[in-house]
Amino acid sequence: AQKVTQAQTEISVVEKEDVTLDCVYETRDTTYYLFWYKQPPSGELVFLIRRNSFDEQNEISGRYSWNFQKSTSSFNFTITASQVVDSAVYFCALSDTDTGGFKTIFGAGTRLFVKA
């Protein structure tokens, strides 16, 4: 069965600090996709990134970067020089070939507080 574990329930940092959000996943499929979403206080989840199981290349987008390591089944998310606007709940998610890729399993989320 699929599973996504975000062991960090809450993280608090001071503005301009770097912060890494951990994500560990479980799946028996060789074809799967991993996602990160951001949920600001407004409640709407916002898609950040999608990565497929055949592409382990790390990705950087502005202050955001993602480290995908199949050997440890991890897909960690780093925010560099954090800002107050980064305060939100961040969800890691997994979708595999079960139900044709339409079912997504979400982790419990990590709440990030960035203090000014």
Partner 1 sequence: DGGITQSPKYLFRKEGQNVTLSCEQNLNHDAMYWYRQDPGQGLRLIYYSHIVNDFQKGDIAEGYSVSREKKESFPLTVTSAQKNPTAFYLCASSIVGGGPFQPQHFGDGTRLSIL
> What number of CA atoms fall less than 13 Å from residue 55's CA on the CB side?
10
Q: Does residue 25 interact with partner 1 by CB under 8 A?
A: no
Q: Does residue 52 interact with partner 1 by CB under 8 A?
A: yes
Binds partner 1 (CB under 8 A): choice among 25, 76, 91, 114 = 91
Query: Phi and psi at residue 37, in whole multiples of 5°?
Result: -125, 150
Binds partner 1 (CB under 8 A): choice among 19, 66, 95, 112 = 95
Distance of closest approach, residue 55 Cβ to partner 1, in angstroms: 12
3-state secondary structure 39-53: ECCCCCCEEEEEEEC
Chain centroid offset of residue 79 CA: 11
- Rounded Cα distance, 17 and 80, in Å: 7
Please choose, out of 17-25, 61-69, 79-87, 103-111, the segment that lies near partner 1 by the rule CB under 8 A. Answer: 103-111
- Rounded Cα distance, 115 and 57, in Å: 32
Q: Does residue 99 interact with partner 1 by CB under 8 A?
A: yes
Q: Does residue 101 interact with partner 1 by CB under 8 A?
A: yes
Report the interface residues with partner 1, using CB under 8 A.
Answer: 4, 6, 9, 32-33, 35, 37, 42-47, 50, 52, 91, 93, 95, 97, 99-109
